Amino acid sequence: MRDKCRQDNSVTLINERIRFEELRVVSESEQLGVMPTAKALDLAFQKGLDLIVITENATPPVAKIIDANKYFYEQKRKEKEQAKKQRESRVEIKEVQFRPGIDKHDFDTKLKNIERFLEKGAKVKCLLKFRGRENANHALGFDIMNRIIDKLEDTEWDSKPTLNGNRLIGILKRGKNGQI
């Protein structure tokens, strides 16, 4: 009997490693039914293929008669495809910092950067830092946050601005226009 081994298939039950008494056996084209493991192994080796346990948790466990190399290749391909989809769906968060005494030109420049980040599909974390006496006038910070949302079109708060110690933090995303 042959036993194909791969470096990372130690968790995959294949051929002689299968310790179940009965298996529900499936081939690529048909279901062969429930049978003893020894009979299933004989069937697989007659066809020149391997017996691989697909679902251990089922009662009885499900095994498939297939070429082991083909099975492991397909598994690896599926994992890569899933990882690719996960990377593509991840949303990036950019951060833009403001101060209460920001000048008009500086404010406009930061707005252009926010607009550019939003166009690329990222969310933007707007952070307004207060220092010293600026902590006495938090309303000025909320006014700046309102100016940001007023100037940007098709933008809404993903997370409305909240005061966290000496920082006012809000997260912007593409969408409808939302006031605080």
- Fold (CATH) for 15-86: Ubiquitin-like (UB roll) (3.10.20)
Instruction: Give the strand pairing for 62-66 and 22-26.
Output: parallel
Whether 15-86 and 93-174 share one fold: the answer is no
| Sheet bearing 31-36, strands edge to edge | 31-36, 22-26, 62-66, 50-55
Pick the CATH number of 93-174 from 3.20.20.140, 3.40.1210.10, 3.30.110.10, 3.30.1130.10: 3.30.110.10
Kindly list the domain boundaries of the chain, sorted by start residue: 15-86, 93-174
Task: Categorise residue 76: left if φ over 0, alpha if ψ from -120 to 50, beta otherwise.
Answer: alpha
Residue 171: band (very low, low, confident or very high) from pLDDT cuts 50, 70, 90: very high
- Closest of 10, 15, 11, 4 to residue 43, by C-alpha: 15
Partners of residue 158 on adjacent β-strands:
none
pLDDT, one tens digit per residue, over 88-104 is: 777 788 999 999 988 99
pLDDT, one tens digit per residue, over 13-65 is: 788 888 888 899 998 888 888 999 889 889 889 988 988 998 888 888 999 99
Is the dihedral angle over the CA atoms 112, 113, 114, 118 positive or is it negative?
positive
Residue 133: band (very low, low, confident or very high) from pLDDT cuts 50, 70, 90: confident
- Percent of the chain exceeding pLDDT 70 equals 91
